[in-house]
Structure 1
Amino acid sequence: MSRSQITIEALQAKTGEVLGVSQWRTVDQPRIDGFAELTEDPQWIHTDPERAARESPFGTTIAHGFLSLSLLSAMAMDVLPAIKGQAMGINYGFDKVRFMNPVREGSKVRGTFTLLEVKQRSQSEWQLRHGVSVEIEGQDKPALIAEWLSLAIVK
């Protein structure tokens, strides 16, 4: 599926709007275990279902907060439009990240992206700020909220 394309000027006009909601993604134990291995963070609350069932207040393993955060890239590809003439996009970081609610193993999550700002930094460089909320299916409280910064290099 190809992403819709938009000019930088048309994107600026959407400041303050929700640009989209991603598809649901399941956070299962193999995904959690793979993330634990890659990040060298095998803490039992993530990787030991039996112990988590016995000792954790969550009753099961939970995803690393950074795993939930890392899913933003895939979620963004679901919904954010491609900018016409963009040569590349660069992750510029976060101004704010709050982990609000643990993501229990087997949960489904999805992201909602709101365009907060489009600021020109140079003739070819634009800084984008998105407000992001990662919802957990069936939960009132989101997994996380963030303000995500990226740079769009436009020809």
Structure 2
Amino acid sequence: MIATAVLTVGGLVTGYLLSRGREPHNPEPGISQGPSLLTTGPLCRPETQAMGEKAGAVGELRQVLRVRTESRTVVWICQDEAANLYYHANKGGGEAKWVENKTALFLAGVRHNDAGEFWAAAEDGAIFVVTADKLIITHEDGRAEEQDVVPE
């Protein structure tokens, strides 16, 4: 089941990249084609650790990126000990109520590039792109939401 989810996410991310004019067999320089360890910070939240364990994460998850958007959503990009990346977001941030698939969303199979972009795909076809400056959500119907990152 995890393998199917990983393949699905990989296909969705490839589709997203194609929609941006990139070919999956010849990616632009710096796009991660496999896990590579990134600089990490503190341990990710307990909620993220629990979801990571359910998703088959190897060891503890550590924070790679944390941003808060203008709409008060906080996004964490976390990495396990095998260099796999995960996306976890919660509306209202860490201090708000956490309800998976309602206020919070956890996604495995995150990809990244050297420009600091992280891509994650949800089961419903939505693509999430996170940078230090923006969160862009592209829905399956093509509608895009862009949220600026704000200082905390």
Structure with greater Cα Rg: 1
Compare the two structures and name the one with the higher helix fraction. Answer: 1
- Indicate the structure whose relative CO is greater, using CA pairs within 8 Å and at least 6 residues apart: 1
> TM-score scaled to structure 1, two decimals?
0.26
Compare the two structures and name the one with the higher strand fraction. Answer: 1
> TM-score scaled to structure 2, two decimals?
0.26
